[in-house]
Structure 1
């Protein structure tokens, strides 16, 4: 939305793309070394830095312009990369040993690897659309005030839970690959309870501060986001189990089904959607995905 009317700014977009890609690559390297806290820092520190910059600018200047947004994002990404590298460069220069498969049919292995790469690509595409389709398509269906209030509320509610979910998945995938035994049902109950309690506390604080931060609280949207929260953190464990032990045949069918479901949700939102149908479509898709992944993960635990 920032770049749609100013094509000359694509060079800035390219810089942001390169910096964010470097951050993501650094995060993966640290994750392979089981440096989970630093891995999360590499991919999320820029968000915190940006919030600080925006807050300072608002206090000093009273408003935020497009140029300030772009400058803040680039400065935050650079600062985040430098800071994370300063903490971890000694750990990154040592080699990372990756075990090689032995025995079996090599042609089968190559085919299986290709299938896994394909299904992970479909999964990435699915989450890229799921994370933004309601916000992209609603701009054609609702007025600007309703749209901005919805965008602000959903972003504020779901932001910290997304970080927690990613952190849980990051940790579990590496440990499961190393042979860790896990009780799926018990783990899901624990993380669901923890994330729900945390969300209730966090959203209560947002509600109390709603006048200060100019947040229009909507209970129907809050309930839909709560459903997403209850699903998102447990899903990170299920995804880790399936990703570590599952086969491509398990993933391809599921991801094709959910990609088609998501396309149908996008079409419905574009022609008939409002803020309630769109967010409840998101929560419904999350619920279905957790159920499907639970059934698959149970086979490997």
Structure 2
């Protein structure tokens, strides 16, 4: 077993943080890769790694020099998404246990459990709230029939997190990782941090809601959005229903992604979150990056 920081640094030594065929890694790109990889490696367990990587200066200096014989992998090394499936255990609080569910085509199964300590999720039957084991509200006012969509969303996020481990990309909420109350405004920010190399990036951004709803965000060709990532925050949003934990999914590449943009746009408004993970996995290239950012929204008290 190893932690997210150890995993990320092992990938650095393999050359995963190098860009554009370079054999020298700057201090800024090293820190950026490690922090982004750690963020994209974390599943909700109630705890997380937040390493303080110093110094926070001299970003341009060379941190690691690789030998000229370094052979970078020509294809992604992570396991195919189909191998990331899991059994999801649900503990029902104040009500009848959920029924078992098997979806082999999505590589997922949902099992009720009477042991709360072993549960992946806590379901408050009386009010329809679905919580992660770490205490985050996933979705509110859900019905038992929604379990299938919520489970598919969970497996899709796990697949995307696995894909992002070796190809992390920064995306943040401009006001930080907090719980946003209904009506509060926020925006997503994918601008490069200090010290990171600047390159032209093509991009696609979507949001997967706690109930599995897919919302395609950018680039919107009908609005003449630029196909390359702008150097400014990505739009303004308001926290609203369905309350819970949404995930913003950012995919970037150094070359156009027209086919991927088209296929993901076609999923807009559906609850086919597994299809999102499949389409992104199919489109992977050596220069593609993936970033995920949770957004927590709740009703006003």
TM-score (norm 1): 0.30
- Tell me which of the two structures has the higher relative contact order, counting C-alpha pairs closer than 8 angstroms and 6 or more residues apart: 1
Q: Which has the higher helix share?
A: 1
TM-score (norm 2): 0.30
For the pair shown, the structure with the greater C-alpha radius of gyration is 1
